[in-house]
Every structure is written in structure tokens, then in C-alpha cells.
């Protein structure tokens, strides 16, 4: 048997170890969340990150090395987004009769998401490039990064803010909607999809398939709308 | 399963090519989603063949965000001194956005149901 150091130096050059670690961390996180009955605070993304971060820190692994393995999982976000076509197709009947609520809720949700972020950043006196990085936070990461770059934000900061927004939306949506006694799964799902993109959509699927379908629609439509609305809001509000 | 993956990736690829080719401001996968809806409209029987795989993918959507989530921890220093303020702004803004969307959705639904019963 080779010594631990050479075994480690071999493993750390293959995607295997971080791919396996990510899957195991998620299985543990998701298992714990399910055991507890999927409470909003036990978000599987957040729990998995909290499990993996100390391992990376203890093994002195930088993110680039981790991502060598984890990129195979990250890549699947593309086909998973395309797969949202199926719940959309399944719910085509109710979608056809809710075109007006969908379009108008998309407009208000999207405008408030970006507008409130801009105004709050101004109220707190944040630097301009931070404000601009914050504005597209509610849309899906590839779109948000493109907008951030185009309006003069810092894409790396936007990437962090987008993921944080997703987790915040996924954690807050259930208590918020229960507090308001909203029982319409379409409205609940749509709201979290507009405000918290794919991570919010993942939470919606965890709770209810109709909510998931409407979150997926909201996320897809907001990807389109945010790229139009954020540059306009920045011009008006900044 | 392989058929489904082939179709999903094919739609994404066409979406990617279209988005980049025409300089559209939306990601390839979102266009791919729209394309797959159109394909399902033309071939409704396809839905049942795709369902086993897409159900598994969508049930584990959170899993796919873990690498990006780990990236946040590795990149927290970009938040610099504004971390707490940013957390407060994100929370407030996300809640406000959900309130606006859910209020509009339910309000408009009631209004349209009243006009067109």
C-alpha cells in the first residue's frame, strides 16, 4: 500500500473525490431535511454547502480544484432547465387560463426585485459598483452575470449575491406564504420563481408539483424580463 | 433515459446556438425549454417517454446548485465589509418581490375570474 500523501496527491488530481464528496454531502443533507419533513430552514443546498466547506478547508483545497470534480454536476443545470418544459406542458391547461396573472405578476415581481435592491443599496450608501452588482440578483446566474457586466457591476460579486438570493427565497417562501394564508400553489410557486430563480424553483418542487411548474415558468420568463428591466431601472433610479 | 438526455441536451444546444447566433439576452437552456414545449405540442405522446428521467432530474434540482453554493463560501471575501448589509438588503428585497408577485397574481386572478366567470 502506498502512503497516504501519495494516495492523496493522486486523488486530488482526479474529479472523483470532489464529485463523490458532493453527492455524499447532498445525500446526507437531503436525508436529514426529509427526516425533519423538509422544514424551510433545512435547505438542502445550504446544508450541503455547510458540510462541504469544512472538508475543503481542512484539506486546503481551493475552489478551482473542487470545481474540477463538481463541474459535472454544475453542467446538469442546463438540461435540468430544459426539463422544466415537462411540468409546464403538464400544467398547460391552467397556464392558458392564467395568462393575465402570470404576465402582471412577472412585471411587478421583477420590477420590485430589482427596484427595491437598487433603492435599498442607495439608502444604505453602498458603493456604486456594489449597487450595480446587486440589481440583477433575482434572475438566473448566467443572465445576472451578463447584466452585471453590461451595466458596470462586478460579475464575481453578482454570482455570490444570486446564489444567496436563491437560498434566502427558498428558506423564506414557505413561512411567508403560510403567514399570509396563501393557498394557491400557482401563486406561491410563481412568486418564489420570480424572486429566487432556480433555487427557489427547487424548493417549490420540494413542496408541491404545481408550485414547481409555476416557479419554473416565472424563472424562465424573468430571465428574459430582467435583462430588459434592470438597465432601465438603473437609468431611472441611480 | 439516454433518449431523454439526448433530447434535453439537443434542445439546450439549439437554444445555445440560437441565443448566441442572434445575440439574444436569454440563456440557451431557457430557449431550449421553450423549444421542448413546442416539440411536446407537436408530439404530445413524447411526454410520457420523457417523464421518468425528467422527474428524477427535477426532484433533485437542489443537488445541481451545490457546486455554485460552495463557490459562494470560497468567494465570500467579495462581499468585503458590506456582508451584513447585503444580507439584510437581499432578504428584504426578496420578500418584497415575493409579496408583489403573489399579491398581483391573486389580485389579477380574482379580477379576471369576476369579469369572465
Distance of residue A123 Cα from the nearest chain B Cα, in angstroms: 10
- Can you tell me the mean pLDDT for B43-69? 93
Task: Report how far residue A238's alpha carbon sits from residue A162's, in angstroms, rounded to the nearest whole number.
Answer: 21
Question: Hey, is the C-beta of A222 within 8 angstroms of any chain B C-beta?
Answer: no
Q: Which helix (H) or strand (E) holds A15?
A: none
Option in B41, B98, B112 nearest A192 (CB): B98
Tell me the chain A residues in contact with residue B11 when contact means C-beta distances shorter than 8 Å.
Answer: 82, 85
What is the mean predicted confidence (pLDDT) over B53-58?
93
CB of A232 less than 8 A from some CB of B: no
What DSSP letter does each residue of A92-117 carry, written as one string? Answer: HHHHHHTHHHHHHHHHHHHHHHHHHH
pLDDT at A2: 63
Given CB atoms, is B5 within the 8 Å cutoff of chain A? yes
Interatomic CA distance for residues A199 and A197, integer angstroms: 6
Chain A residue numbers with beta carbons less than 8 Å from the beta carbon of B30 are 81, 140, 220, 223-224
Largest CA distance in chain A: 67
Determine the pLDDT at residue A8.
78
What is the rounded CA–CA span in Å between residue A67 and residue A49?
13
Report residue A34 as a C-alpha cell. Answer: 426529509
From A2's Cα to the closest Cα of chain B, the distance in A is 31
Establish if A7 touches chain B: CB-CB under 8 angstroms: no
State residue B117's pLDDT score. 54
Chain A residue numbers with beta carbons less than 8 Å from the beta carbon of B90 are: 117, 134, 137, 161, 164-165, 168
B75, A194: Cβ pair inside 8 Å?
Answer: no
DSSP A18-52: HHHHHHHHHHHHHHHHHHTT--TTS-HHHHHHHHH
Closest CA to A165 of A225, A125, A116: A116
B70, B108, B110: best mutation site toward chain A, by most A Cβ within 10 Å?
Answer: B70
**Contact (Cβ atoms closer than 8 angstroms) between residue A192 and residue A170:** yes
- The whole-angstrom distance between residue A168's C-alpha and the CA centroid of its chain comes to 9
Between chain A and chain B, how many beta carbons pairs sit less than 8 Å apart?
Answer: 310
The minimal CB distance from A201 to the residues B25, B61, B91 is found for B61
**Rounded distance, CA A197 to CA A191, Å?**
10
Task: Report pLDDT for B114.
Answer: 79
Mean pLDDT along residues B52-67: 93
Does the beta-carbon distance from B89 to A81 stay under 8 Å?
Answer: no
Alpha carbon distance A29, A14 (integer Å) = 24
Interface of A with B in 30-49 (CB under 8 A): 30, 43-46, 48-49
Q: Does A144 touch chain B (CB under 8 A)?
A: no
Q: Please give the backbone phi and psi of residue B116, each rounded to the nearest 5 degrees, phi first.
A: -125, 80
Q: With 70 as the cut, is the pLDDT of residue B116 above it? A: no
Nearest beta carbon to residue B82 from set A77, A117, A126: A126
Q: Give the span between the Cα atoms of A155 and A148, in whole angstroms.
A: 6
A205 closest CA partner among B102, B57, B31, B4: B57
pLDDT score for A7? 80
The ipTM of this complex is: 0.92
* Cα–Cα distance measured from residue B29 to residue A34, given in angstroms and rounded to the nearest whole number: 29
B7-21 mean pLDDT: 94
Using a CB–CB cutoff of 8 Å, tell me whether B56 touches chain A. no
Put simply, whether B106 touches A (Cβ < 8 Å) is yes
Measure the CA–CA gap between A166 and B27, rounded to whole angstroms: 18
* Count of residues in chain B: 117
Q: Region B24-48: what's the mean pLDDT?
A: 91
* A135 DSSP assignment: T
Q: CB count, 10 Å around CB of A68?
A: 17
A102 contacts B64? CB cut-off 8 A = no
Q: What is the pLDDT along chain A (238 residues), one digit of tens a residue?
A: 567 778 877 777 788 999 999 999 999 999 999 999 989 999 999 999 999 999 999 999 988 899 988 999 999 999 999 999 999 999 999 899 899 999 999 999 999 999 999 999 999 999 999 999 999 999 988 889 889 988 999 888 999 999 999 999 999 999 999 999 999 999 999 999 999 999 999 999 999 999 999 999 999 999 889 988 999 999 898 8
With an 8 Å Cβ cutoff, are B68 and A105 in contact? no
- Please indicate if any CB of chain B lies within 8 Å of the CB of A132: no
DSSP letter at A60 equals T
Amino acid at each position: 500500500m502506498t502512503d497516504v500523501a501519495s494516495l492523496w496527491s493522486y486523488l486530488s488530481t482526479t474529479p472523483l473525490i470532489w464529485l463523490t464528496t458532493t453527492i455524499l454531502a447532498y445525500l446526507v443533507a437531503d436525508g436529514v431535511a426529509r427526516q425533519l419533513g423538509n422544514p424551510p430552514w433545512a435547505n438542502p443546498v445550504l446544508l450541503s454547502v455547510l458540510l462541504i466547506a469544512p472538508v475543503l478547508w481542512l484539506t486546503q483545497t481551493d475552489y478551482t480544484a473542487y470545481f474540477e470534480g463538481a463541474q459535472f454536476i454544475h453542467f446538469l443545470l442546463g438540461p435540468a432547465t430544459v426539463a422544466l418544459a415537462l411540468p409546464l406542458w403538464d400544467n398547460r391547461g391552467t397556464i392558458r387560463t392564467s395568462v393575465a396573472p402570470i404576465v402582471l405578476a412577472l412585471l411587478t415581481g421583477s420590477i420590485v426585485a430589482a427596484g427595491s435592491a437598487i433603492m435599498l443599496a442607495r439608502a444604505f450608501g453602498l458603493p456604486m459598483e456594489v449597487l450595480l452588482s446587486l440589481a440583477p440578483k433575482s434572475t438566473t446566474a448566467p443572465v445576472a452575470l451578463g447584466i452585471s457586466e453590461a451595466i458596470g457591476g462586478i460579475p464575481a460579486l453578482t454570482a455570490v449575491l444570486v446564489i444567496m438570493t436563491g437560498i434566502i427565497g427558498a428558506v423564506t417562501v414557505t413561512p411567508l406564504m403560510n403567514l399570509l394564508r396563501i393557498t394557491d400553489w400557482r401563486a406561491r410557486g410563481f412568486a418564489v420563481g420570480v424572486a429566487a430563480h432556480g433555487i427557489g424553483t427547487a424548493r417549490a418542487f420540494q413542496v408541491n408539483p404545481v408550485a414547481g411548474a409555476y416557479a419554473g415558468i416565472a424563472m424562465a420568463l424573468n430571465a428574459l424580463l430582467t435583462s430588459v428591466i434592470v438597465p432601465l431601472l438603473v437609468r431611472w433610479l441611480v | 433515459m439516454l433518449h431523454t438526455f439526448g433530447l434535453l441536451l439537443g434542445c439546450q444546444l439549439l437554444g445555445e446556438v440560437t441565443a448566441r447566433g442572434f445575440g439574444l439576452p436569454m440563456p440557451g437552456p431557457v430557449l431550449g425549454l421553450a423549444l421542448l414545449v413546442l416539440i411536446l405540442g407537436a408530439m404530445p405522446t413524447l411526454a410520457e417517454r420523457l417523464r421518468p428521467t425528467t422527474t428524477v432530474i427535477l426532484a433533485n434540482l437542489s443537488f445541481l446548485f451545490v457546486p455554485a453554493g460552495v463557490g459562494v463560501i470560497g468567494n465570500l471575501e467579495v462581499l468585503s465589509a458590506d456582508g451584513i448589509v447585503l444580507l439584510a438588503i437581499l432578504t428584504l428585497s426578496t420578500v418584497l418581490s415575493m409579496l408583489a408577485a403573489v399579491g398581483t397574481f391573486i389580485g389579477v386572478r380574482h379580477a379576471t375570474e369576476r369579469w369572465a366567470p
